[in-house]
Amino acid sequence: MSYFLRFVQRYPVFKFLPIQVLGILIGVHFNFPLIPLYILFGIFFLVLFTRYFQITLPIIILLMPILVLQTGDSQNNSALPTGEVLIEAQVEDIQKKRNSDHIILNAGKKRILLQMTDTLSFLPGDTLIIRGKLKIPQSPRNPGEFDYGGYLQSQGIQAIFHRDFSIMEIIEGRSSVNRWFFMMREGIHHRLTEAVGHPYAGLAAGLLLGEKSGIQVEMKEQFRQLGIIHILAVSGLHVGFVLLVLTVLAKIAVLPKLYRFLFITSGLLFYLGISGGAISVMRAVSMAILYTYGNFREKEILPWSIVGFTAFIFLLIDPSQLFSLSFQLSFGAVGGILFMLSQFRKLTENNEWLQSLRRHTSFRWLMDALVVSFGAQLGTFLPIALIFGEIPVWAFAANLVIIPLAGLAVVTALIISLTLPITTVLGDIYGQALWGELFLMDKVSLFMNHLPVQMISFHGWGVFPLIILFVGMIALASVSQNRYRFRSMLVCLLLGNFFIWTHILESPQFTVTFLDVGQGDACVIEDGEHTILVDAGYAGFGKDYGKRVVLPYLKHKGIDKIDLMVMTHPHADHIGGLETVLKKITIREIWDTHNDFESSVYDRILKGAEQNKSTIRYPQPGDIYQLGEMKLTILYPDSAIAMSMKNINNSSIVFRLDYKDHSFLFIGDAEIQAERILANLDSLLNVDVLKVGHHGSSTSSIMSMVNHVSPKYAVISVGKNNRYGHPSENIVQRWVDIGAEVFRSDESGAVIIAVDGEGMSINPMIP
Amino acid sequence: MHSLLESFEQFIYPQYCNTCDTPLSEVEQLFCSKCRVNDIQFSKLGNWVRQLKTHKNLDYAHSFYWFGEVIQAYIHHLKYSGWDTFLPRLINNAIRESELPKQATEAVLIPIPLHRVRQRDRGFNQAMVIAKELAQQWNLKLDDKMLKREKYTQSQTKLSIIERQKNMYMAFHMLKDAPKAVLLIDDVLTTGSTVDACAKQLRERGSTWVGVVTLATPKIKKIYR
């Protein structure tokens, strides 16, 4: 505590930062009437410059974010019109993506994202008149899925034009800084591409401009896996390198102090412009400018103070940034680095051996690099573990090699982009050099990708255990505060123990999750120990629900092995996604039917199963399969029947699942022919939850079967606006009439059924 | 307006004394006045050329201050951050306290040059900054084009006196004829091996009187003198 107080005393901005953060938290969690809030703020503002300054200023700082947040909320309520609209909007930014251009439009105070596949030539500042269908970005439809809507929302984007729109008119805008920088950026991009060439042109643009569209998917994945993807997003690291180059240039030119300051500042602002002006770059550039200004004014620079002040100002402008990942990563990394450096310095002060090592320049460099790398990793641990659920193991070793290389590459790329027009020979030489640097980066990261154990998984840990782990790590790293260190570590260990024991004693939860895989089926059954997957969604024509939905879900739940996979029948909308799943997840046993269906997807999956060393079984009616407390009873089909069916849907595996006194029926795509046979089974069909046959088609759910099943809940797995017209209104009505509550995946997204001590509960993703 | 800027600066760049860690006022820099007064002391050595280890070619030597923590910090910040407002003040104060010998009234000031690689690395020569200030105060001529450093020498802090002399052998080179009287200028003077090497070159090219003036000299002299 005294350590904290000393810290606050030393850096005045940290007197206000906690108050501001408190204000933000209050503003997000509570609602206040706006007008009294404004009046209160006004009163305090009026008495701000009186002798009560010491009290009024903190109150103002507390009120400010509440005010900004709540005013923003009330504006959001007056949302954009959706559906068919005619809208006039100004182009704010154009972002190249892999398959399309993302155009950020500004319509009044709202932002709209326009996804364009064909290129039209317009620049930031132009005004577009668009007629089309305005859509609200989707919230995630499955657990573990990337929250694209939330991501757009964090950028202030509230609606999307996608496919159904036409641009009626383009009104050319006046020339502006924004426009000029955009053209400059395009020019540099072009120049870099020409100088570097295949296959590293994309990587060069990514490094210097943060322009990721040209980088191969595998290379990006390779960087992500290693935890060094951050070098491809322009950030503090890049700005640091640019600052270094500018400082050296200013020194070589022997500029007087004022000119040096102006030169470095304008250079930084120029880089901000050409790198697209992302908020993370703005933050880093602000810090760099504050640093340069302090130096100009001959002030000794305390890094904590500059970092704190930048955070304070950016939160003042937009308080909601506190919750953005980019903000957390930026300040987490910087804070972690500063913390580790100060701890390490104190450690060396009292350690003869370390001091003797530090006399060697190379050791000193290596030690500092290690400390910085570790600090950045530590500082970003919490947001990364919470959001991605896994921490790359080798990141901090990789950073040691990759960051100097990246720095070199950024500097070379900067030189190329600024000098190439003067002499092409020189440009060519630099181009070759850059190619070499990028080649090295690629190969080193490729090599490190082959090291064992890439990720430590924190899936399913929950927030509090992670926070305790984080605090424990901070305590462990606080080498200079030995007294507090052991005490706080002890507390963390005790709390950690508490969590582990409550976790063990807690009865495992049984869940059945009907994933939303569009037009297709996929369902995951878990009892906390075993996992069963029934179908895996569609794959083909550029879509792969295995990759998009099933794998992320399994990852989110921390599942890396499946005990049983049921392929109800080999249609692509049921087994397509399995191909990708087989590549990433161990599957012990696969159920299939005897059939003469032939398709390339089916062949590939059977081959994949062979490579996965999965056992393939052909279950027969009457078979009973026990997994923990789950009992699976196979009802259909007999191999002979399966072979005789012309319509492969009718050879779908049908089984009943019993867990304690709850029962489920999975019926695949079984249609009338199969259902007639099933209907003979009478009470065996009677269950609590049914996955409705064949996506609710009118060719399934015959009356005799409906009567026997009479479920509490009926789940229809179906895609929006599918070309088959599923589900049939009559069939939905039929299930409602029998007394079932019907859930449709096209309306409610994934449907999660959980069983605990108190009984069964059903939760759709979209209520 | 000015005070607003200053209080703003104090908010972002809070300053603390490097020795005693007390907060500094707007006019103080790096050290509080108390610590500065305690640490910065005039050497009052007068002409101490006889006490230098190497002084064969030198007629005069003077250092204004004892080389303490404060001066070290300012020279460091001059070298690495380009801070150049404090040094003139330091020199002004010193000049009032010291007198030049009469041979030096016509002397030309020559800052000890840096090797061009080092100079490019740093952006400037700290001896030049001091020499400029002195030239202005004493109203003497300054010539930094006369002497050139030929040899890139490593830092001498850990070398013995013999090694220093060897290190400095033929390190400097004259580009034109030397004037009759010369005052060499540097930041710190310890054994005198560097300035003596310069003086040797100057004498060969016609100087009859060579002195040296530096900002500071370390107080613990026994090992050197």
Judge whether B9 is closer than 8 Å to chain A, CB to CB. yes
Give the residue on A whose Cα is nearest the Cα of B5. A297
Give the residue on A whose Cα is nearest the Cα of B25. A299
Judge whether B28 is closer than 8 Å to chain A, CB to CB. no
Cβ contacts of A361 on chain B, cutoff 8 Å: none
Which bin fits B118, alpha (ψ -120 to 50), beta or left (φ > 0)? alpha
CB contact (8 A) between residue B13 and residue A254: no
Whether A274 maps to a domain, the answer reads yes
Q: Look at residue B224 in the predicted model and tell me its pLDDT.
A: 46
Cβ contacts of A260 on chain B, cutoff 8 Å: 82
Judge whether B155 is closer than 8 Å to chain A, CB to CB. no
The fraction of chain A above a pLDDT of 90, given in percent, is 20
- Name the residue among A376, A49, A289, A259 with its Cα closest to residue B12: A289
Judge whether B26 is closer than 8 Å to chain A, CB to CB. no
Judge whether A250 is closer than 8 Å to chain B, CB to CB. yes
A470 and A577 both lie in a single domain: no
Please name the member of B15, B120, B124 whose beta carbon is closest to the beta carbon of A300: B15
Asked if residues B141 and A269 have their Cβ atoms less than 8 Å apart, the reply is no
Q: How many CB atoms lie within 10 A of CB A419?
A: 13
Please name the member of A10, A250, A299 whose beta carbon is closest to the beta carbon of B9: A299
A167 and A199 both lie in a single domain: no
Q: What is the mean pLDDT of chain B?
A: 84
Q: Look at residue B223 in the predicted model and tell me its pLDDT.
A: 44
Give the residue on A whose Cα is nearest the Cα of B119. A252
Task: Determine the average pLDDT of the residues in A418-439.
Answer: 77
Please name the member of A254, A298, A309 whose beta carbon is closest to the beta carbon of B85: A298
Asked if residues A347 and A354 have their Cβ atoms less than 8 Å apart, the reply is yes
Judge whether A723 is closer than 8 Å to chain B, CB to CB. no
A626 and A689 both lie in a single domain: yes
Cβ contacts of A300 on chain B, cutoff 8 Å: 13, 15-16, 18, 30
Residue B103 has pLDDT above 60, yes or no: yes
A663 and A728 both lie in a single domain: yes
A478 and A500 both lie in a single domain: yes
What would the two tokens of residue A537 be?
Answer: 């969604």
Q: Look at residue B25 in the predicted model and tell me its pLDDT.
A: 85
Mutate to test the interface with B, among A11, A257, A264, A300 (most CBs of B within 10 A): A300
* Structural element, H or E, at residue A167: strand A157-171
Domain boundary assignment for chain B:
1-39, 40-217
Whether A390 maps to a domain, the answer reads no
Q: Look at residue A23 in the predicted model and tell me its pLDDT.
A: 92
Q: What is the mean pLDDT of chain A?
A: 85
CB contact (8 A) between residue B13 and residue A12: no
* Count helices and strands in chain A by DSSP H and E runs: 30, 24
Task: For A259-299, write each residue's pLDDT tens digit.
Answer: 999 999 999 999 998 888 888 899 999 999 999 999 898 88
Whether A729 maps to a domain, the answer reads yes
Mutate to test the interface with A, among B2, B3, B11, B12 (most CBs of A within 10 A): B12
Residue B176 has pLDDT above 70, yes or no: yes
Judge whether B124 is closer than 8 Å to chain A, CB to CB. yes
Cβ contacts of A301 on chain B, cutoff 8 Å: 13
Domain with A540 in it: 510-764
- More confident: B44 or B132: B132
**ipTM score:** 0.80
Angle at the Cα of A613 from the Cα atoms of A612 and A616, rounded to 5 degrees: 105
Whether A277 maps to a domain, the answer reads yes
A28 and A66 both lie in a single domain: yes
A526 and A643 both lie in a single domain: yes
Angle at the Cα of A41 from the Cα atoms of A37 and A45, rounded to 5 degrees: 170
Burial of A269 by CB count in 10 Å (0-12 exposed, 13-18 middle, 19+ buried)? Answer: middle
Q: Look at residue B45 in the predicted model and tell me its pLDDT.
A: 78
Asked if residues A588 and A559 have their Cβ atoms less than 8 Å apart, the reply is no
What would the two tokens of residue A41 be?
Answer: 């703020």
Residue A290 to chain B, least CA–CA distance (Å): 9
Radius of gyration of chain A (CA): 30
Instruction: List the alpha helices (DSSP H) in A593-671.
Output: 600-611, 639-644
Residue B120 to chain A, least CA–CA distance (Å): 6
Judge whether B3 is closer than 8 Å to chain A, CB to CB. no
Q: Which of A77, A109, A137 is the last residue of a domain?
A: A77
Give the residue on A whose Cα is nearest the Cα of B79. A251
* Structural element, H or E, at residue A597: none
Whether A364 maps to a domain, the answer reads no
The C-alpha atoms of residue A222 and residue A206 are separated, in whole angstroms, by 15
Q: A717 vs A102, A573, A694, CA distance in Å?
A: 32, 11, 8
Task: For A48-107, write each residue's pLDDT tens digit.
Answer: 777 777 788 888 888 888 888 888 766 655 566 777 888 888 888 888 777 778 888 888
Q: Can you give the CATH number for the domain in which A650 is found?
A: 3.60.15.10
Task: Determine the average pLDDT of the residues in B41-61.
Answer: 83
A416 and A530 both lie in a single domain: no
Q: Look at residue A77 in the predicted model and tell me its pLDDT.
A: 54
Q: How many CB atoms lie within 10 A of CB A117?
A: 9
Asked if residues A705 and A731 have their Cβ atoms less than 8 Å apart, the reply is no
The C-alpha atoms of residue A269 and residue A261 are separated, in whole angstroms, by 12
Judge whether B27 is closer than 8 Å to chain A, CB to CB. no
Asked if residues A499 and A464 have their Cβ atoms less than 8 Å apart, the reply is yes
Structural domain count of chain A: 5
